[in-house]
């Protein structure tokens, strides 16, 4: 008997392992600092819009998410016709890969880049090519050195998850300039709203300048709407057209469209979330540094912390200790960072508890 065989690449996928929300034997209601969900949760206006969508559950959603795209376009000063919404930015990243790469093609990303990139590369049957990284920062020259005639796509998360590092606008422009025109550059800006650096750019100007750069955004992080699954891409017309052909005709639920629109129109809430992060990220980072732990600089809403290799003090030991005490950070073994843990910048009470657990962990005999 022969069984159906999946297409080449599918069984090479290392399934995505989300940050945990509980651990066996740990407290039932742990504090989850493992998935970078917005500390303040969604805008009240988004919650009201979500509830309002209950009245029309029997009707298909607006297929092209026009009202939502117009709202995003107004707020960001972008052409709504070149915005495509996705069920999470994950869907968009996958469809960009589906649209532009397949068997025999290569997709380049950086060693500690976001784990969705290997998944979508294998999913479309393309060959992932991993550029080396020094000091946990995307290395433009190393990525350019990986480009071959088979390269179709380059992914960069800026800032990157899980490192928190970013490359400045001039480096991003140098990356684009160093790539052939027929290579799609995807700039995944999941954490853009948190960044407070003068030399940062989302790369919108690179999207506008050519026909080969896409920027993706999400409502899962600063907007606090991860459960809704909503993201968007800003792309050159021809790429937007490809993404519109590939997406499901009703890929964004009515509730997500309504809540997303209300959320993007409540920029005061976004500003509060950014201010919260700007205040509490340094606070938490300093607490960890004061314990002798190495904290990597972060432009996003999380920090990556390196633990010693001393038995009893390792990242694995720390994870068990945190989880046992009701706080769950993100393990980063899957990112080739087995000596680190990533912590989301949560609410004040959550971070105060996490800092206290860290202190007790490092003080153990």
Ligand X SMILES: *Cc1c(COP(=O)(O)O)cnc(C)c1O
In the set 43, 95, 161, 202, which binds ligand X (CB under 6 A)?
Answer: 161
User: Which of 53, 226 has the CB closer to ligand X?
Assistant: 226
Q: Are 97 and 68 in contact (CB under 8 A)?
A: no
For residue 222, what are the contacts with CB-CB under 8 A and spacing of at least 6? 38, 191, 193, 194, 270, 273, 274, 301
- For 276, the 3-state DSSP assignment is helix
User: Which of 176, 229 has the CB closer to ligand X?
Assistant: 229
Cα 33 to chain centroid distance, Å, stands at: 15
User: Which of 161, 201 has the CB closer to ligand X?
Assistant: 161
> Could you tell me which stretch among 40-48, 88-96, 207-215, 331-339 binds ligand X (CB under 6 A)?
88-96
> Could you tell me which stretch among 12-20, 175-183, 220-228, 319-327 binds ligand X (CB under 6 A)?
220-228
Burial pattern 163-177, b for ≥16 Cβ within 10 A else e, equals bbbbbebebbbebbe
Does an H or E element contain 77, and which?
A: none
In the set 157, 192, 270, 315, which binds ligand X (CB under 6 A)?
Answer: 157
Q: Does 231 bind ligand X (CB under 6 A)?
A: yes
Q: Does 137 bind ligand X (CB under 6 A)?
A: no
Q: Does 114 bind ligand X (CB under 6 A)?
A: yes
Q: Min. distance of Cβ 223 from ligand X in angstroms?
A: 10
Q: Are 64 and 70 in contact (CB under 8 A)?
A: no
Q: Quote the tokens at residue 283.
A: 């606070």
Does an H or E element contain 47, and which?
A: helix 44-52
> Could you tell me which stretch among 124-132, 213-221, 244-252, 316-324 binds ligand X (CB under 6 A)?
213-221
In the set 45, 75, 129, 226, which binds ligand X (CB under 6 A)?
Answer: 226
Residue ranges binding ligand X (CB under 6 A): 36, 88-90, 114, 157, 161, 188, 190, 218, 220-221, 226, 231
């Amino acid at each position: 008997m022969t069984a159906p065989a999946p297409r080449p690449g599918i069984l090479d996928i290392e399934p995505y392992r989300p940050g945990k929300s509980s651990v066996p034997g740990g407290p039932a209601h742990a504090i989850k600092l493992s998935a970078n969900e917005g500390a303040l949760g969604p805008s009240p206006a988004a919650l009201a819009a979500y509830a309002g969508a209950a009245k029309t559950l029997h009707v298909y959603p607006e297929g092209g998410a026009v009202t939502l795209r117009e709202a995003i376009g107004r707020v960001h000063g972008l052409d709504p016709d070149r915005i495509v919404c996705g069920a999470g930015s994950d869907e968009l990243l996958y469809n960009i890969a589906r649209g532009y790469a397949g068997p025999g093609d290569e997709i380049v990303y950086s060693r500690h880049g976001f784990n969705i990139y290997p998944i979508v590369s294998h999913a479309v049957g393309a060959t992932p090519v991993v550029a080396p990284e020094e000091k946990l920062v995307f290395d433009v020259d190393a990525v350019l050195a990986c480009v071959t005639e088979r390269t179709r796509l380059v992914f960069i998360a800026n800032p990157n998850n899980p490192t928190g590092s970013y490359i400045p606008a001039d480096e991003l422009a140098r990356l684009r300039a160093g790539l052939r025109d027929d290579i799609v550059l995807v700039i995944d800006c999941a954490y853009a709203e948190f960044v407070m650096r003068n030399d940062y750019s989302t790369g919108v100007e690179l999207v506008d300048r050519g026909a080969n750069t896409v920027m993706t955004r999400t409502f899962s992080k600063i907007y606090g709407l991860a459960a809704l699954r909503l993201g968007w891409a800003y792309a050159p017309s021809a790429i937007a057209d490809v993404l519109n052909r590939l997406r499901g005709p009703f890929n964004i639920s009515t509730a997500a469209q309504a809540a997303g629109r209300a959320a993007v129109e409540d920029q005061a809430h976004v500003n509060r979330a950014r201010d919260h992060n700007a205040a509490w990220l340094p606070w938490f980072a300093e607490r960890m540094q004061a314990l002798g732990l190495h904290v990597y600089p972060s432009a996003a809403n999380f920090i990556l912390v390196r633990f010693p290799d001393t038995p009893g003090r390792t990242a694995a030991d720390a994870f068990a200790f945190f989880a046992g005490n009701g706080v769950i950070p993100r393990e980063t073994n899957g990112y080739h960072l087995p000596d680190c843990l990533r912590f989301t910048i949560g609410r004040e009470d959550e971070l105060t508890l996490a800092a206290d657990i860290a202190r007790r962990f490092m003080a153990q005999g």
